[in-house]
Amino acid sequence: MLSERRLNMVGKALSKKRAVRADATARDQLLEAVGALMAERESIDFSLSDVAKKSGLNAGLVRYYFGNKAGMMMAYVQEVVGSAVTQVEQLANMPVGAKEKLRIHIYGAVSNYYKHPYINILLQYMMKESNGEYKNTIMNDIIKRLVFAEQKILEDGQAEGVFKVVDPLLFYFYIFGACEAIFRSRDTVKYFLDADDVNEDIKQKYTKQLCDLVMNGLGCVDKRG
């Protein structure tokens, strides 16, 4: 049997683990509330009180975890966009063909915008309205990493003879501009596609067509004349 001292040590360790889990859960709840509010309002205009009400937690926890609203929004950017960038970097280094990597990347990018259609607005806001505090972080830790990962996929395709040479930075704008466009045009979607919103079926059709257009555009030019 365990001694009383040993039992006390185990009890303290379990209590500490529970506290860590509770701490992580509260932080996650706040970030989930941020995402839910932006999705519902199609805007980044919300207050700390709104976040507290949505999460069911005290507004003081925002200051405890993030310092202020800008810190909370930056944490959300790192949680959602940062993890997506890491996945693209991992994809770029996978031992599969460049065409397949690019196809996976495009499908993943559209899916991320489907879940988080306000991401570009949030990134622009954070770079402009935070007195430049987060601009370098977003540029270096998110956008630059993403451009470099896409560049590797493009260069792999060029080495394999399946992609022609294109400017990787302009390519970044093409892909993410196309990803954002449909989710920022919901009224047009409702009017012309007879749908209440961009649904799963529209998303799949849009992604396939975008993928086909990009792949055909990148196809190697036949130099035989």
Task: Tell me the pTM.
Answer: 0.81
Q: How high does pLDDT run on average in the chain?
A: 84
Among 36, 59, 30, which Cα is nearest to 117's? 36
Could you please state the CATH topology (level 3) that the domain comprising 70-220 is classified under.
Tetracycline Repressor; domain 2 (1.10.357)
pLDDT of residue 186: 78
Residue 132 carries which side chain, given as an amino acid letter?
A: G
Please tell me the CATH code under which domain 13-67 is placed.
Answer: 1.10.10
pLDDT of residue 126: 87
Composition of the chain by helix, strand, coil, percent to 5: 80, 0, 20
pLDDT of residue 221: 45
Instruction: List per-block mean pLDDT (blocks of 10 residues) for the chain, which spans 225 residues.
Output: 46 43 73 89 86 90 89 91 93 95 95 88 82 85 95 96 95 92 83 85 93 90 40
* Cα R_g (the chain), whole angstroms: 22
Instruction: Sort residue 67 into left (φ over 0), alpha (ψ -120 to 50) or beta.
Output: left
pLDDT of residue 6: 46
pLDDT of residue 164: 94
pLDDT of residue 156: 97
Neighbouring C-beta atoms of residue 174, cutoff 10 Å: 16
Residue 23 carries which side chain, given as an amino acid letter?
A: D
Domains in the chain: boundaries: 13-67, 70-220
